[in-house]
Structures are given as C-alpha cells and as structure tokens.
Structure 1
Amino acid sequence: MRDGYRFEFGALDEPDAPKVQALKPLEEAAEVYGAWQDCDDYRDCRIAAFCDELRRDLVDECMDVVQAVVSLLDAEGFTQEDVDAAIERCNERNRERGRL
C-alpha cells in the first residue's frame, strides 16, 4: 500500500459565492478528465517532451481540484480536525471495501 500523498494547501483568499464555490470542484474535475483523455490518447507516444507535457497538464489539473476542494472546505468553516476525521472515515470505508 502506498502511504499516500501529503499536500499543503491553503484556501483561496477570497471565496466565491457559495453556489459557485460548490460547483468549482466539479468544473475542475471535468478538466482533469479532459487532461487524462489526452494522456490516454497518446499513451504509446514515444516523444518524451510531449508525454511529459501531457502528464504535467494532468497533475496540474488534479491540483486545481484539490485547491477547489480545500477552498470549499474553508468557505464552509470546516476545521483541520473535521478534515482529519473525514479522512479516517474515508480510509475505513476503503479498507472495508478491500481498496486499502
């Protein structure tokens, strides 16, 4: 099992309106899927610089999702303790499902 990734993200300084804030992770997730499709389309590509750019675009889009989620959590007033507890519940669900 992988230990996981460790992120240090702050929330955006000026949160959007609540509905916009809630929709932002969905918008960013759609962009992740588009970037993944580009990577998948060129999975057998032998041009290293091109493949590196596609992978960089994918990880950048993934981080945009993380940023959007962190900002939503902050805008809704969740604390680090709330997030830690939710992570543990998520890990437990995944252990029960045999994913971890």
Structure 2
Amino acid sequence: MTDGYLLNLRTFREVRDDKAQALKPLEEAAEAFGAWQLHDGVRQSQIMTARRAYRQDLIDECMDVVQAVVNLLDAEGFTQEDVDAAIGRCNARNWERGRL
C-alpha cells in the first residue's frame, strides 16, 4: 500500500465548459474498467510479457481518467487552492469512514 501518489499533469491547451468535457472522465473511467476486465485473468500469470502488457494498459487508462478530470477542473475554472481544499475534505470524509 502506498501513502498516495504525487501527480503532476498539465491540462490540455483547449478545454471547454460543456457536456462533452463533463462526460470525458466517465468515458475514460469506463475504458479503465474495460482494461481491467480484459486482463483480469492475466494479473497472476507467470508470463511476464502478459503481465507487463496488462499493467501498462491499465495504468495508461487510469492516467487518461486523471487527465480528463484535470481538464474538467480547468474548464470549470478551479484553482490549486480549490483543489487542495477539496482534497482535504475528501481525506476528512474518508478518515471519518475508516478508510484512511
């Protein structure tokens, strides 16, 4: 288990405050789940090339999710201060629920 990840993603040059931008994280999350499903049986494989391919596909799809969320935050005009405050609230909720 890790204590979190330090992520530093830049937003795309052009983001829009529209429905398509808002739906993008959902689309990317579905692709991340699809990558997990596709390779579910391979996770414990002794064939290293299969495991590497699974891990790379999954992490790439997960980063696409994060990228889509970062783009949506930017399209909505959130600042780093807003994000930091939201992370604090999220951590507090998860602490209260016994998840952290």
- Whether TM exceeds 0.5 here: the answer is yes
What is aligned with 1:12?
A: 12
What is aligned with 1:71?
A: 71
- Alignment pair present for 1:54 and 2:36: no
Q: Distance in 2 between matches of 1:59 and 1:70?
A: 16
What is aligned with 1:24?
A: 24
AA matched with 2:95: R
Cα deviations across residues 15-74 of structure 1 (Å, max 9, x unaligned)?
A: 146100000000000000011112312233221011101110000000000000000000
AA matched with 1:12: F
AA matched with 2:50: F
SS in 2 for 1:88: helix
Consecutive unaligned residues in structure 2, runs of 5 or more: none
Alignment length (residue pairs): 100
Paired-residue identity, %? 64
User: Where do 1:89-100 residues align within 5 Å?
Assistant: 89-100=89-100
Scaled by the length of structure 2, what TM-score is found? 0.94
Does the C-alpha gap of structure 1 residues 54 and 2 become closer, same or farther in structure 2, counting only changes over 3 Å?
closer
Scaled by the length of structure 1, what TM-score is found? 0.94
AA matched with 1:7: L
Query: What stretches of structure 1 move > 4 A for 4+ residues in a row?
Result: none
Asked if structure 1 preserves the Cα contact closer than 8 Å seen for 2:45 and 2:51, the reply is yes
Q: How many Å apart are 1:3 and its aligned residue?
A: 2.0
What is aligned with 2:82?
A: 82
